[in-house]
Structure 1
Amino acid sequence: MEQQLNQLKAEMLQKIEEATNLKALNEVRVAYLGKKGPITDLLKGMGKLSAEERPKMGALVNTVREQVTAELETKAAILEEQAIQAQLAQESIDVTLPGAAMKSGNRHPLTRVIEEIEDLFISMGYEIAEGPEVEKDYYNFEALNLPKDHPARDMQDTFYISEEILLRTQTSPVQARTMEEKQGAAVRIICPGKVFRRDSDDATHSHQFMQIEGLVVGENICMSDLKGTLDVLTKKMFGADREIRLRPSFFPFTEPSVEVDVSCFKCGGSGCNVCKQTGWIEILGSGMVHPNVLAMAGYDPKKVSGFAFGIGVERIAMLKYGVDDIRHFYTNDVRFLSQFERAEG
């Protein structure tokens, strides 16, 4: 039996040496060390040996099995490394070849305008304030001097979720909330955000659009402060040679109220199709904060005053970039959006 075991050992080591892949090596292991293999048969036949021979032969069989197992593990490690290297060689790439160009995106034109305006006002000491798009009727209307029966509400008809909850029609509620939180302290903020109105979707109107409103509240704030601020804004957005004019208007939350026009940047004021031959283009509404709005927010209108203005971001972008249809901003057409990468490049 000992001679038979030595022959098996030599045969197994030879088969292990000849194995060229992991599958062949595993077949060797199963054939010789499996339940039906010759090593198992030898162990089963040990019952026929004498009591003196049985321990000696058992130890010898275990030694051979351990040696063969160790050789199997060593060869398996070698074959695994060879398989990995072969796979790497097969899947290797030439890193000196030019790579596929990955086209990067660029900022949306509305984002460009918002960031440009934010940077300007931050440099002037303003803070950026934000608020909920789903707003209470109180902050959207009542706190801005528009009680429930005020006819001016019809101009801002919007989407109601309940009798007291709606989609905000302007970012002015952020101003009301900020003044309420400040508890009489000075305020200097701009409020960018999305607003909603039940409006016709055409080339110049949308049921959803972006707005930036500004608010300054403090002692001795007057109309000249408002005009100076808006003059800086228009020169930043449309060019240093632009001029503005203020026209009387009406807004429930400001008194007095004014519409702001900028001199036409295409014709310089002589009249063209852009300014409808007037030489001026309307860009925003503004005015001095109404005393009622100040009082409802906890301020004393006899001690403090303020001004506010509201900018339609799409309108500014349309004028700045020469866009003729507001709907282009929301169709996600790459052909349209890619133009602004070149315009800003």
Structure 2
Amino acid sequence: MNDLDQLVDAARADFDAAETPAELENAKARFLGKSGRVTELLKGLAALSADDKKTRGAEINQTKQRIEAALTARRQSLADAELQAQLKAEALDVTLPGRQRGSGGLHPVSRTIERIEGIFGSMGFDVADGPEIETDWMSFTALNNPENHPARSMQDTFYVDMKDDEGRWLNLRPHTSPMQVRYARAHAARHAEALARGEAIPEIRVIAPGRTYRVDSDATHSPMFHQCEGLWIGENVSFKDLKAVFADFFRHFFETDDLTIRFRPSFFPFTEPSAEVDIAFAHGPLKGRWLEVAGSGQVHPNVVRNFGLDPERYIGFAFGMGPDRLTMLRYGVNDLRLFFDGDLRFLSQFQ
């Protein structure tokens, strides 16, 4: 093996030892660069005779071509290795299931509110909506609950540091009853017009679902919760109608006739007489237990007067229930806070 063959072998060895393109370029410079070994051989031709220069020059050029071929082969090898590594890193496992965009759905409490609206809508009730920041008068005074009344102690808890145009303090509504007042006052003019024309008086029949706020937090209470108030006012609306409405509602809501409804005497400033509404299931895990689900009563004359109506002519009932509580009973949830934690593992069960 002559010196040129050894040079080719040395070049191949250096090229094969290069692990990166940068290392390969450094190896190239040692053989083919301006000061490389092949270049030095070409410079040495000047000292040879014409015949020897021709023969030796041809041998050196052939050696250079062999080294360049080895360089090109190593470059291609490194490029192929880099491509394989990239393909491996970006490989798709075709045996895995496809990635699909998750679909959303209604919150369980929203489902309950829609269900409540649908059932009461079938009984002729309108659905009212209104502001969550209310005046003190709308939240309490109009509902026969004046300042310093002891019944306000658990409700007048969140206030806004401002007043309305009439100088009344604003608060986060503790119930949706203000919407009953707003709705009734808006319809009082229609009643007066119908009365002046000698026509039949249109009844006020409305529910007001929405968010409410009180300082309260445990497994069955939340500072922000939902409530649905209802109102039915007319010239001949009795407690009997109240019982019939509740009986029809709860049997449709829970999709069973095997439940008992109980009206238990209670106190609310805005109704007189007043009653808590309890239910008991005949079957299931809650069998035999009385469960409080609503408050109700005949609308107090003072409240009817604040509606803009004559309490000597108009009578009716009001009620309030918690959609959060009804959702817990319908789906068997034992902690109210789960509805508001935002845990998709819990919420996805209802989709």
Percent identity over the alignment is 50
**Pairing of 1:53-72 with structure 2 (within 5 A):** none
1:189 to 203, 206, 216: 206
TM-score by length of 2: 0.65
Give the 5 Å matches for 1:96-135. Answer: 100-135=99-134
- Indicate whether 1:206 and 2:211 are aligned: no
* Aligned-pair CA distance for 1:240: 2.2
Picking from 307, 319, 337, the partner of 2:329 is 319
Instruction: Give the residue type in structure 2 aligned to 1:106.
Output: G
Aligned residues: 236
Deviations 1:151-175 (A, max 9, x none): 1000213211136110000000000
Tell me the alpha carbon deviations over residues 91-140 of structure 1, each in whole angstroms, 9 at most, x when there is no partner.
xxxxxxx9643221121100110000101111111111011100000000
Aligned to 1:165: 170
Aligned residue in 2 for 1:235: 251
Alignment of 1:321-336 (within 5 A): 321-336=331-346
Tell me if the contact between 1:144 and 1:293 (Cα under 8 Å) persists in the aligned partners: yes
Residue in structure 2 matching 1:280, options 290, 305, 326? 290
Q: Secondary structure at the match of 1:156?
A: coil
SS in 2 for 1:323: coil
| Partners of 1:194 and 1:313 in 2: CA distance | 10
Q: Which 10-residue stretch deviates more, 166-175 or 183-192?
A: 183-192
2:231 is aligned with what amino acid? L
AA partner of residue 262 (structure 1):
I
Q: CA deviation at 1:266?
A: 4.4
Map Cα deviations across residues 41-95 of structure 1 (whole Å, 9 max, x no partner): xxxxxxxxxxxxxxxxxxxxxxxxxxxxxxxxxxxxxxxxxxxxxxxxxxxxxxx
Structure 1 moving runs of 4+ over 3 Å? none
Matched residue type, 1:193: G
Residue of structure 2 in register with 1:254 after alignment: 271
1:151 is aligned to 2:150? yes
**Whole-Å separation in 2 of the counterparts to 1:305 and 1:259:** 19
Q: Which residue of 1 aligns with 2:179?
A: 174
Letter in 2 for 1:133: E
**Partner Cα distance (2:347, 2:99) in 1:** 23
Partner SS for 1:243: strand
Partner of 1:219: 235
The answer on whether the counterparts of 1:158 and 1:168 sit within 8 Å (CA) in structure 2 is no
Verify the 8 A CA contact 1:109 1:340 in the aligned structure 2: yes
Instruction: Tell me how far apart the structure 1 counterparts of residues 181 and 157 of structure 2 sit (CA, whole Å).
Output: 19
Max Rg structure: 2
Worse-superposed segment, 108-117 or 150-159: 150-159
Offset, 1:279: 3.0
Equivalence for 1:339: 349
* One-letter amino acid matched to 1:259: E
Q: Distance in 2 between matches of 1:240 and 1:117?
A: 17
SS of the residue aligned with 1:287?
A: strand
Letter in 2 for 1:180: R
The aligned residue for residue 40 of structure 1 is none
Coordinate RMSD, CA, aligned: 1.7
3-state SS, counterpart of residue 240 of structure 2: helix
Q: Which residue is equivalent to 1:94?
A: none
1: CA distance between counterparts of 2:309 and 2:261?
Answer: 31
Distance (whole Å) between structure 1 residues aligned to residue 231 and residue 308 of structure 2: 16
> Displacement of 1:233 after TM fit?
1.0
TM-score w.r.t. the length of structure 1 is: 0.66
In 1, the alpha carbon distance for the partners of 2:231 and 2:306 equals 16
Aligned equivalent of 2:314? 304
- Aligned mates of 1:243, 1:264 — CA distance in 2: 7
Q: Distance in 2 between matches of 1:207 and 1:102?
A: 34
CA contact (8 A) 2:119 2:253 kept: no
